[in-house]
Amino acid sequence: MNLFKAVAIARINVVRLLRDRSGLFFIFVFPLMLVLVLGLSFGGGFAPRVGVVATDSGDLGEELVEALGGEPGEWEIQRYDDADDLRAAVRSGQLGAGLILPAGYDRRLRAGEPTTIELITPPQDTAFSIRGAVEAAVAGQATLARAAQFVSEQTDVPVSDAFETATQVQAEVPPIGVAVTSTGEAPIPASLSGFGLGAQSQLILFMFVTSMSAAGQLILSRQLGVSSRMVSTPTTLGTILVGEALGRFGIAMLQGIFIVAATALAFGVSWGDPLATAAIVILFAAVGAGAAMLVGAVARNAEQANGVGVFAGLGIAALGGAMAPPEIFPPIMDAISRITPHRWAIDGLRELAAGGGIVDALPQLGVLAAFATVLIGLATWRLRVALTR
């Protein structure tokens, strides 16, 4: 076998793919778009933005706004001077919600006058959580107002004075603590950010699908006589087979390296132990290369190879947990998913995200190596038969 010729054949396959501009979009751009969408869906670290109009709302108004801010990073409070601008920002999606405090809010509350706060939310389910947080923040001040009103009615003390007294008493009363205890395990590991979860699934999904989409090139090479001309040259059949395998492997590796590097730089995704991550990517690229070669050697024409390749790639990816987190699978689906290489690759990446190293990922690496060996072995045997007919 001539390794230099095999690498040359592999290079031609990779260059042919890179010359397809539409293919470049699905290799480099589309995966990052999906990582972004999934990251935001599963919590990508962005605090909800809430707009507030609190013109002339007084000390109690400012206290309410500070209470809404909560812990750093919980909510991002953005001030607005005009209520119409606030409504437009919520309507356009720039804000998760808007809060308008009436002028004289502090004075009205201390005087026991009816006070209404306007909460503006988009028609999404997330509005319920924002509404609950606002109502909880308002409830504390409303309790003081009701207590002051009651004291004033019973003692003829002015409501404003009773409000000050109630405020002082509240400050002296020890708060009721709430002890929160978590039981069981979270479905999604806490070590994964939203972007990390999306990056892992899209890495496995696209490496395999891209490899499978290149299966038709094998048939085109045979139909156009490229393969027969290579066989008729002094180039050995083993060199041709290795070159074709390296071509599919190179395509998968190129995309895998790009997704890992781009998500780390653009979204701050931590992939864990670099050596172990590299091992998983390399072995899964070999799995994709073997599967693509097998489909390309068995299919009758390029259209069939592309159709079967993409359909099988997406189907196996869904079954293996590359489209939805496998942690949410019911027991029967969890068991079935383990017949796919995707599930073992994802489990290995989960181990690394949790702080494990290459030793912790050895079971997954072993299974991936077995998948790669079997698929490449079958593909090489079947392609050898197809080339020598």
| Together in a domain, 288 and 350 | yes
Determine contact, residues 166/144, Cβ cutoff 8 Å.
yes
CA neighbor of 120 nearest in space, from 112, 111, 110, 130: 130
CA distance 184 to 187: 9
- 156 shares a domain with 140: yes
CA 266 from chain center: how many Å?
13
Do 112 and 18 fall within a single domain?
no
Residue 178 belongs to some domain of the structure? no
Domain extent at residue 14: 3-42+193-387
Q: Which of 15, 35, 4, 39 is nearest to 254 (CA)?
A: 15
In a domain, 181, yes or no: no
User: Rounded to an integer, what distance in angstroms lies between the CA atom of residue 227 and that of residue 210?
Assistant: 22
CATH number at residue 135: 3.40.1710.10
C-beta separation of 221 from 342 below 8 A: no
CA distance 141 to 117: 12
Residues 153 and 219 in one domain: no
The tally of domains found in the chain comes to: 2
Same domain, 146 and 23: no
In a domain, 182, yes or no: no
CA distance 34 to 311: 19
Domain co-membership, 162 together with 231: no
Domain identity same for 231 and 370:
yes
* Contact yes or no for 32/263 (Cβ under 8 A): yes
Give the global pTM. 0.68
Considering the domain architecture, whether residues 164 and 217 belong to the same structural domain is answered as no
Q: Let me know whether 22 and 71 are in one domain.
A: no
Q: Are residues 86 and 205 in the same domain?
A: no
103 and 31 fall within a common domain: no
Per-residue pLDDT of the chain (389 residues; tens, 9 = 90+): 677 777 887 887 778 777 777 778 888 899 999 888 877 666 555 566 789 999 888 888 888 888 776 554 457 888 999 999 999 988 887 888 888 999 898 888 888 788 888 988 877 555 566 777 777 777 778 887 888 788 888 887 888 888 888 777 777 767 666 676 666 666 666 666 668 888 999 999 999 998 887 777 777 766 666 666 766 677 787 788 888 888 889 989 999 999 999 999 998 899 999 999 999 999 999 999 999 889 888 887 877 877 887 888 899 999 999 988 898 899 999 999 999 999 999 999 999 988 899 999 999 999 999 999 999 999 999 888 877 76
Q: Indicate whether 299 belongs to any domain.
A: yes
Residue 321 counted as domain residue:
yes
Shared domain check, 144 and 265: no
